[in-house]
A and B are shown apart, each in its own frame.
Chain A
Amino acid sequence: MSDRLPGFSTLAVHAGAQPDPTTGARATPIYQTTSFVFNDADHAASLFGLQAFGNIYTRIGNPTNAVLEERVAALEGGTAALAVASGHAAQVVVLQQLLQPGDEFIAARKLYGGSINQFAHAFKSFGWNVVWADPDDVASFERAVTPRTKAIFIESIANPAGSITDIEAISTVARKAGVPLIVDNTLASPYLIRPIDHGADIVVHSLTKFLGGHGNSLGGIIVDAGTFDWSAGGKYPMLSEPRPEYHGIRLQETFGNFAFAIACRVLGLRDLGPALSPFNAFMILTGIETLPLRMQKHCDNAKAVAEFLAGHPAVSAVNYAGLASDKYNQLARKYAPKGAGAVFTFSLKGGYDAGVNLVSKLQLFSHLANVGDTRSLVIHPASTTHSQLDDAAKIKSGAGPDVVRLSIGIEDKEDLIADLEQALGA
């Protein structure tokens, strides 16, 4: 019973899971049930009052989902986690614990387009005001801090071009401002980057991408690093003040260094309702067991494809942090030494028409709006996701008319290169 630290691959297979006590089932069972029987009235009251560990109703917690939660918490080095229905659900649940109407949060300008929309429009209607900063200019985060700032939000590897964010530098700004740093670690996965080791207080994921990894199930997760003191300064009443929903419990006092994850569960998930299906949790858990194997192959393939594209006469530029010539290569070496991820963009000399032409001629790459699948994916943002923007706005968001985004899968790299070669050919 020595305190030996198992490696990442062992945790990816084992953390959170144990044989089922009743049946001996070794794979995690899918507990496809809405609700759980109480032992007696006292047990029910204890569970509802947060006094006992156990299950009540799948909107609040489910045994299959709990295995997924503990596993991702272990892989990220956090104290606890909460699985929800999607990455977007994770973001709304996190910010609900931190912001009151009229408050602000600072977000990196380079984010997944869906997050930009969610922050700029949906959250604005809640009175949560986003202030944008430039992830390549740490001072812009410092300048954005006001007395109403409640959090800073960044992506570890940022959409759409796979740029690497200097997490430590921005965590220093967050610490100085007395607010938590939230890192969306979707494109890196904990195999490549563990943001908590670099100063993140909260990590969120779209499990839909590399963690699930097979393009078959939506999910999101929130990981509590256990590092932030929610009682200091009274800025976070959801955690530090008595909660009327629970007869005056103070969550930080009761749950210590996993109070944030509990707040997300008992105030966020319970009241907003974006519960994850246990079936999806099972699919994602199965995916996570092979995360280390898949992620390394994704990265190795991506580097080979990026190198091929960089040498192709029809290509004007490749944005991949794994290339020695890339502007983010130094940061990639520091934060993601095993590989710079598998999502990146490149530009075509032939502009808009060449982008449309390429997408239509590819045979293996699937044209769709997702990343982090076993299959290689392609999208031409200017004719799809960003088609509503004018040209200037497209260029500003990294989706100019000549830009193509790839998410490299785990096929044989020679086949991916051959497919791109034929599609770029004539």
Chain B
Amino acid sequence: MNHDAYPDNYIRGILNSVKSIAMVGASPVNVRPSYFAFKYLAQRGYDMIPVNPGHVAKELLGKPFVASLRDIGRPVDMIDIFRNSSHIMPVVEEALTLDLLPKVIWMQLGARDDAAAEKAEAAGIKVVMNRCPKIEYGRLSSEISWMGVNSRTLSSKRPPAPTQGMRLSLNRMSVGGGDTAASDRAAKNKSEQS
């Protein structure tokens, strides 16, 4: 997989197929990006599991925190890592010891570890880096268009009137890859510098 520019179909396929998501580094502080993403994905019907050893015995939007991936005690489809790039590898290594491997490992906006991605991909796991699943879901459904964001999708179909907490269709025609050509280039230059 070219981690500089994901085809929309790759992201669409992941968001359409996974049902359970363990979020490593989920925060109960309601101004942290992980809290936003956790809440949004839960509203869109994903089975969310907060993983953060600092908050065990507490809950996040009604879901009990667990200390580690192993403590979840059941298979999960996707692991969403809300940690800095330097903390990715141990999480991926732990994921690879699970009895049933996740189908997807997703690293949050700003997080990228190519070596960890290679390890996960070698085990047959799909990897997404430096993206936010909330933003991607909002983009592919065009819900993010309320914010003036370029969804990079088009549709001439009449969408259903949205109701609270409903799943949205992600099957709009794509205008291109996950981001604009210019923003992709900028991200690539940044990752090559660091």
Contacts and interface: CB of A to CB of B under 8 A. Distances in A.
Asked whether A and B interact, the reply is yes
A4 B151 CA distance: 14
A256 B142 CA distance: 17
A49 B183 contact: no
A52 B186 contact: no
Contact of B31 (A14, A49, A54, A79): A49
Interface stretch (B47-55, B119-127, B159-167): B159-167
A71 B187 CA distance: 23
A142 to B, nearest CB: 21
B75 interface: no
Given A256-B110, A261-B149, A11 B175 contact: yes
Contacts of B36: 50-51, 254
Contact of A61 (B146, B151, B156): B146
Interface in B58-80: none
Contact of A66 (B146, B157, B182): B146
A112 interface: no
A350 B173 CA distance: 59
A61 B158 contact: no
Interface string A112-148: 0000000000000000000000000000000000000
B26 to A, nearest CB: 14
Interface centre among B7, B8, B132, B146 (most CB of A within 10 A): B146
B164 A39 contact: yes
A174 B87 CA distance: 33
A227 B183 contact: yes
A196 interface: yes
Contacts of A246: 31
Size band of the interface chain A makes with B: 35 or more
A257 B157 contact: no
B34 to A, nearest CB: 10
Interface string A381-424: 00000000000000000000000000000000000000000000
B28 interface: no
Contact of A81 (B31, B132, B148): B148
B126 to A, nearest CB: 17
A66 B147 contact: yes
Given A229-B186, A249-B31, A21 B158 contact: yes
Contacts of B7: 3
B157 A19 contact: yes
B183 to A, nearest CB: 3
A192 B107 CA distance: 38
Contacts of B176: 3, 5
Nearest to A45: B30
A1 B9 contact: yes
A19 B156 contact: yes
Given A1-B171, A11-B175, A246-B31, A53 B186 contact: no
A80 B148 contact: yes
A3 B9 contact: yes
Given A1-B171, A66-B148, A70-B148, A18 B31 contact: no
A365 interface: no
Interface in B135-150: 135, 138, 142-150
Contacts of A4: 173-174
Contacts of A196: 180, 182
Contact of A15 (B12, B33, B164, B175): B175
Contact of B8 (A3, A21, A197, A262): A3
B46 interface: no
B40 A52 contact: yes
Contacts of A261: 147-149
Contacts of A227: 182-183, 185-186
Given A55-B146, A78-B150, A265-B147, 14 more contacts: A1-B9, A19-B157, A21-B160, A49-B31, A61-B146, A66-B145, A66-B146, A74-B175, A197-B181, A226-B179, A229-B190, A246-B31, A256-B109, A265-B148
Which 4 pairs show the lowest CB-CB distances between chains A and B? A226-B183, A69-B148, A73-B150, A227-B186
17 contacts: A1-B12, A6-B173, A11-B154, A18-B142, A21-B159, A22-B161, A49-B30, A51-B36, A51-B39, A53-B138, A61-B146, A78-B182, A80-B147, A225-B180, A226-B186, A253-B33, A254-B36
